[in-house]
Structure 1
Amino acid sequence: MDKHVNVFQQTIMKDFHHLLGSGNILRENLSMDEQQELFDLKSNTDIVILPADKGGAIVIMDSSYYWAEGMHNPLFDINIKTGVNQELITDCNEEFDNIFREVGNAAYKLKRLQWQRFHMEACLHHNVIPRGLRIRCMPSYGSTYPNLLAKWQEINIETSFRYMQLLIDYFKPHEDEVSALIEFLHDDNNSTPLLYNTTTYASSNCTRGTWITQLVFPALYSFLLLIGLTLNTIVIWAFILTPDKSNFIIFLKNIVVADSLMILTFLFKIINDSGVGPKSLRAFICQVSSVVFYFTMYISIVFLGLITVDRYRKTVLPFKKSVLNISGAKLLSAGIWVTMFFLSLPNMILSNTKLAMEHSMKCSHFKSEIGLTWHAITVSVCQIIFWVNLGILLVCYSLITKELYYSNKRVKGSRRQSKRHINTNIFIVITVFFICFVPYHFAKIPYTLSQTRNVFNCSVQNTLFYVKESTLWLCALNACLDPLIYYFLCKSFRQSLKKIFHPKSKHIPLQKHAKSMKLETDNAEC
């Protein structure tokens, strides 16, 4: 508003100076009351003062009419719903003004470039040279040497045509760049990140406390990074010493690889969220690091589902031969990795990095229109993966619980303690799954609703954002809790740990039958 008033004042002063003459000294000719009135205009939100499109005039317009005119302007086609709260429009005047100016300037520049190109292409098509592109300095002795004059005119025409083509080729990339900017600022299908509607604007205008996002979450992820690197280094070492003698071990090794890749992404998230990284790091996180994080998270979910099925078969159907041998388990694991990789790869390569780096820092802004569509498909597939595996866990562990309950009723005496031990260990997988993955996928539902529908106020939106980020941290915590599954469910893994920490210790023979039975039933799958 101050800028427009200043332009208005400068125009008035310029006109006074022109009337008095260029040689006269301009003196202040406004009274104190008039100056005060001009000053009051700066804080008046009921009017809008703007320069006219042509002629250098100043337009004073009612602000409500200005915003209503802008919202229904066919040039912008802004998708603002009817019945918008007037208070929201009043609070957003300045932001909308900046949006209109940016889009208007870009559209005006695009029209100028297009008109210039269309004009020159038409001139080339009809073999006409515009007056401003003709070479005016013609030979003065044309009547004396007509042949020379004719050749000069041929050169003139050819040079003018080549210059016109040069102008077309030179400004075409600029035209494409401006056109891409307008398309980026506004997409008719609302598929681009910057959506001109009250819902998106209200979400973007809702500020959050930076001390949580820049201090608390980086500290939490730093804790996971240190613990995760330490534990997974030991786990990788132990599994290198563990032979692939069962499907269960193969599935566990795949989870170790997924957890290790996930932990590597924590470092980039910590640097970026702390605000100490370069701007280019944001592009890397959106296109690579975040994709790898979710890619490995759903890999872990899939293999936890396979482990659950394997546990169900060993507990409920202990004498039934598995339909999947070790080679089949390896092929299945490779197929899962390849499928998830090709599902995630387009999210890395279908990007619009250059434009996003210039205008925004949201991850959705780094994706092209096709990239956003593919991202939506990926999210849907990942949701299906989670809910299917959640159903597998609930069904399998319900049947396992039922089997163990009746088994405990049948077994008496010395084996009761062994069965209680199985009850404790067998629920580690579902416990880790519910702690790490279930809260995030339930919290994501209202958070997504808050980003796509104008149903929550600013404080609720912030709360949902913090809940979503907190539950996402629980997903990352899975990389530190999975070693508990390895330790309590796999005897071979424990033996490998003994070799690492007690390389000179001898094997202790089992002396009691009950203890031998406990280890046998506890680790039959390893």
Structure 2
Amino acid sequence: MDSRNVTVVDRNCTNFNSVFTRQVLPVFYCIICVCAFILNGFAAWIFFRVPNSSVLVVYLKNMVVADVLMLFTYPWRVASDLGYGGLKLKLMVCRYTAVLFYLSMYTGIAFMSLISLERYFKIVCSTSSVLSHLQRVTVGKGLALLAWIVMIIWMLPNSILTNQSIPENYSCMALKSSLGRRWHDISVHFNVGVFWVAFLLIMFCYTSIACHVYHSYRRVQQDSSKAGRRSNRSIFSLLVVFFICFVPYHICRVPFTLSEHCNTNYFNLFQIKEVTLFLSALNVCLDPVIYFLMSRTFRKSLMHKLASVNVKNRKSEQSSSNL
């Protein structure tokens, strides 16, 4: 399909936007943007004041970075959806912030799978001397760097190849060169593959941990299995966030991808896709729950900060009452 036909198709497709996608969803994005800014700002402030004492802390810190980058894209999307900024802002969203959004989302998914794998090794395979090497902080840093490099290599061409002149009415695909559209298809399939590999890995790790904790509880009743059951609850929180935020979008993505060229079901699929994409964006508000439940260092630092704030408030109240 040549660029002229793609533009015609894209112009027709832009008519499938609705009041919901152009006016209601931006309000919801604004709400989660404010909430996520507070939560992730606080999480970053705590996490990056503590040392990399374990592989888990390394992965959680990288999740914070991915969430902050993802959060950075929301204001641009909201402004563009509400019609501010004109064609130049839409071009910036298509070329840069939309690419950064998906880069951050799938990198975060990759770190969720690495966290699940780390918990699996820590709980189920704790006696293996070979697997214990994977618990080293240096190995964790290397895997984290590898995850970022791989995702950047796959996603960066989507920005570089969005290089066509701006038509009056367009969608992001109309701005891509023919090579850019082919690379877009390749990167979409790659990202979906990343999700399903992460999904299978997380399910395997969670099932194995749940079985291990159950058998441990049956064997020694209560005392020895408390730590294991706490780990089970923490990774369960990761599984819940993963299912709420990412599974609906990727289930919807299959029929939507098959209907890219505006068939009769495109309108309904587009609305569903936008709603499930919003659930994926909600991830930046729910990840701090994972940090709190999984990282003892994060919990202790949080409680210490809250206690310090309470002490300062009491002192200020006492000083005010003495005046």
Distance 1:504 1:439 in 2: 40
Q: Which amino acid aligns with 1:323?
A: H
Tell me which of 254, 258, 269 is aligned to 2:62: 254
> Structure 1's 482 and 226: CA in aligned 2 closer, same or farther, altered over 3 A?
same
Q: Which amino acid aligns with 1:404?
A: V
Matched with 1:235 is 43
Distance 2:17 2:144 in 1: 43
Pair member with larger Rg: 1
CA RMSD of aligned residues (A): 2.3
Distance 2:196 2:232 in 1: 25
Deviation at 1:443, TM superposition (A): 0.4
Which one scores higher on RCO, CA 8 angstroms, separation ≥ 6?
A: 2
Share of identical aligned residues, percent?
35
Give matches, 1:128-277, under 5 Å: 184-186=3-5, 193-194=6-7, 200=9, 204=12, 207-208=15-16, 210-277=18-85
Q: Which amino acid aligns with 1:242?
A: V
Distance 2:143 2:127 in 1: 23
TM-score (norm 1): 0.55
SS where residue 358 of structure 1 aligns?
Answer: coil
Matched with 2:187 is 378
TM-score (norm 2): 0.88
- Richer in helix (by share): 2
SS where residue 377 of structure 1 aligns?
Answer: helix
Cα-to-partner distance string for 1:171-226 (whole Å, 9 max, x where unaligned): xxxxxxxxxxxx6314xxxxxx236xxxx58x926844632122111011001100
> Structure 1's 204 and 409: CA in aligned 2 closer, same or farther, altered over 3 A?
same
Would you say the 8 A contact 1:352–1:365 is kept in 2?
A: no
Tell me which of 93, 105, 120 is aligned to 1:285: 93
| Gap regions ≥5 residues in structure 1 | 1-78, 80-182, 187-192, 507-526
> Structure 1's 351 and 451: CA in aligned 2 closer, same or farther, altered over 3 A?
closer
Give matches, 1:9-408, under 5 Å: 184-186=3-5, 193-194=6-7, 200=9, 204=12, 207-208=15-16, 210-321=18-129, 322-324=132-134, 325-354=136-165, 357-408=166-217
Distance 2:17 2:66 in 1: 33
Cα-to-partner distance string for 1:38-79 (whole Å, 9 max, x where unaligned): xxxxxxxxxxxxxxxxxxxxxxxxxxxxxxxxxxxxxxxxx9
Distance 1:330 1:353 in 2: 38
Deviation at 1:250, TM superposition (A): 0.2
How many residues end up aligned between the 2 structures?
308
Matched with 1:434 is 243
Would you say the 8 A contact 2:162–2:177 is kept in 1?
A: yes
Deviation at 1:453, TM superposition (A): 7.5
Following TM superposition, where does structure 1 have runs of at least 4 consecutive aligned residues deviating by more than 6 angstroms? none
Matched with 2:318 is none
Deviation at 1:422, TM superposition (A): 4.3
Tell me which of 429, 444, 450 is aligned to 2:259: 450
> Structure 1's 255 and 465: CA in aligned 2 closer, same or farther, altered over 3 A?
same
Would you say the 8 A contact 1:255–1:300 is kept in 2?
A: yes
Deviation at 1:279, TM superposition (A): 1.4
Distance 2:38 2:79 in 1: 20
Would you say the 8 A contact 1:261–1:296 is kept in 2?
A: yes
